[in-house]
Structure 1
Amino acid sequence: MFQWMRQVSKLGSQDPGAIFEQSTPQQLSFIRQLQKDLKKEQPLTRQLKNLQVTVLDLETSGFFPDRGDQILSIGGVKIKEGKVQNEKVFYSLVNAPHALSEEISELTGLRKDELEKAPSLASALNGFYRFAGTDVLVAHHASHERKFLQHATYQVLGSQFRHRLLDTSFLLKIAAPDVPLKTLDDCCNHYGIPIEKRHHALEDALITAELWKCMVEIVERKGYQTLQEIYAFLNS
C-alpha cells in the first residue's frame, strides 16, 4: 500500500492517464534477486568477446521522463561469444496510448490501438529484465536509455537501476577516435552495416548490436581485451 501511495504521489503532477499498473509480488521478488545476482558479477576483467551482453533500444514519447515522457516500446538482442544472437531477441510495446503524439507515431510507426492492447510498463520492464538477466547492457546514446530505465525501474518496480549500461561511444573513442560519428546512421554507414528500418526498438537494437560487435573486433585488434583496460586507457 505504501509503495502504491508513493507511486501515485510521484505522478501527481503528470498526465493523469499515466498511472501505472502496480507491480506484482512476483515481479518485485524477481527484481530483488536479480540485483543480488548483479552484485556478484565481475565484468571488468572478462574478455570483451566473452562478455554476456544485451543490446537494447527504447522508443519513448519524448526525452524527459521526469516531466511525464514515457517508454512506448522496448527492444533487446543478445550477443554471445562475439556473435549477435538474432534468434534471441526481446520486444514489447508498452500500454501508454495517451503518451503517443502524432509526431512520434509518424516517426516510429507505433499506433494508439496497438499500445492500448500492450502490456503494462511493469510487465514489459520485468519481461526485459528477465530476458537480460545479469548481462552488461549496451545502447547507442545510452544516456537516453539510462534516464528512462532509472525512472521507470524506480517508479513501477520500486527499485534502483543497477545494471552496467555502456554507450557505443565508449568503444568508438578507441575504434574510430578521429572520425566524427554521432548518430546511429552515421556509425552504421561508416562500418557498412545495412539499415533496413529505423526508430523501431527491436530493429535499432539489432543494428546497434552489429555496431558493437564490429567495434569490439577493432578494439581487440588494437590490443584492448577487457573493459578494465579500456577504462584505464580512457582515464589516462
Structure 2
Amino acid sequence: MFQWMRSISSRFGGLDSTNPQHQSFMRQLQKDVKAEQPLQKSLSSLNVTVLDLETSGFNADAGDKILSMGAIKIKHNRLVRDDAFYTLVHEPEAVSPEVSEVTGLTAEELEADGQSISEALEQFYQFAQADILVAHHASHERKFLQKYTYRTMGTNLQHRLLDTSFVFSIAAPDFEFRSLDDCCNYYDIPIKGRHNALGDAIMAAELWTRSIQTVQELGYETLQDVYAHLSHRRR
C-alpha cells in the first residue's frame, strides 16, 4: 500500500518557489480562490478537497513538523477515489518513538522518501487548486498549513477550510462525541488506515459526504445556510 501511496505525489512535479513558473502559479491560485463564491452554491455542487496532516505534535508555533500529507477529492458529494494525494515530508529527526507508534511512520521512511516541506506544499496546492478544503477538527490543519505556507511561500493560507465536525454537529445534534472514530461509527463508516494521512482523509471525506446528505435532507441547501445555523447556535 505504501508503494501505491508514495506514487500518488509523483503526478505533481515540484515547483521551485523562486522561479517565475511557481510565482505565476501561486498568483493565479490566489486569484482563483478569491474568485470562488461558494456560499450560495448548493452543498452537493461544491468542489472539495479533504485533507489530513500527520504531525510530530500539536503545536506548530513551538516547532512541531508536518510529517505526511494526504488528500482526496469530492465531486457532486461523491468521493473520487482515484483522485488522491499522498506524500511524506523529509523530517526524519522529528519522528519520536511515540509518534512512530501512533502513525506507523519511521525516520527511515522519511529520510528515504520524504520531500522538503516546500515541495510537499507546492504539490498539495497543485492538487487542491481552488477547491474548498475540509478536515476533521480543522484547526489543527489550519495552524500547520498557515505556518508552513507562509514560511515556504511567503503568503498566507488563502483557501476556505471547513471542519467536518461542524457539519456533523448539525446532522447529529444529540450525538455527544466528536472524534473521527466516533463520528464514523455513527454512520457505520469503516475505520481503516487510521493515523495514516490518506486513510484519515478518506474517512473524513466519507463523513463529510454522509453529513452533507443528512443536512440537505434537513433543509440546508447552501454553505451559507450552514454558517447561519452555526452562528445562531453560538449566540
Structure 2-normalised TM-score?
Answer: 0.89
Take 1:70 and 1:162, find their aligned partners in 2: how far apart are those partners?
A: 21
The structural deviation recorded for 1:23 is 3.0
The aligned residue for residue 80 of structure 2 is 85
Distance in 2 of aligned mates of 1:27 and 1:70: 23
3-state DSSP class of the match of 2:51?
A: strand
Q: Deviations over 1:139-178 (max 9, x none)?
A: 0010000000000000111111010000012212210111
Q: 2:89 aligned with 1:98, yes or no? A: no
Matched, 1:116 2:127: no
**Is 2:164 aligned against 1:179?**
no
User: 1:163-221: per-residue Cα shift (whole Å, max 9, x none)?
Assistant: 00000122122101111121100001111000122100000000110000000000000
Correspondences of 1:60-71 after superposition (within 5 Å): 60-71=55-66
Aligned counterpart for 2:134 among listed residues 135, 138, 144: 138
Partner of 1:24: 18
CA RMSD of aligned residues (A): 1.1
2:51 counterpart (52, 56, 59): 56
Q: Distance in 2 between matches of 1:176 and 1:45?
A: 23
Q: Identify the residue that residue 129 of structure 1 maps to in structure 2.
A: 125
SS where residue 170 of structure 2 aligns?
Answer: helix
Structure 2 residue 228 is matched with structure 1 residue 228: no
How far does residue 24 in structure 1 lie from its aligned partner after superposition?
3.4
Residue matched to 1:217: 213
| TM superposition score normalised by structure 1 | 0.89
Q: Which residue of 1 aligns with 2:32?
A: 37
AA in 1 matched with 2:140:
H
Contact 1:43/1:227 (<8 A) preserved: yes
Q: Partners in 2 of 1:95 and 1:232 — Cα distance?
A: 41
- Contact 1:27/1:157 (<8 A) preserved: no
- Segments of 5+ residues of structure 1 without an aligned counterpart are 1-21
The amino acid across from 1:200 in the alignment is: N
Identical-residue share of aligned pairs (%): 57
Residues 201-212 of structure 1: matches in 2 within 5 Å? Answer: 201-212=197-208
Contact 1:72 1:93 in 2 (8 A): yes
State the 1:82 CA deviation.
1.2
Q: 1 CA distance for matches of 2:152 and 2:24?
A: 13
Letter in 2 for 1:215: S
**Paired amino acid for 1:161:** L
Corresponding residue for residue 157 of structure 1: 153
Structure 2 counterpart of 1:133, one-letter code:
Q
Where 2:29 maps in the other structure, the secondary structure is: helix
State the shift of 1:93 in Å.
0.3
Alignment of 1:190 with 2:186, yes or no, is yes
Indicate how the Cα distance of structure 1 residues 28 and 98 shifts in structure 2: closer, same or farther if over 3 A, else same.
Answer: farther
Deviation string 1:90-121 (CA, Å, 9 cap, x unpaired) is: 00000111111111011111111121131110
Q: CA deviation at 1:67?
A: 0.8
For 2:147 and 2:213, locate their aligned partners in 1 and report how far apart those are by CA, in whole Å.
33
Q: 2:92, 2:27 → 1: CA distance?
A: 29
One-letter identity of the residue aligned with 2:71? G
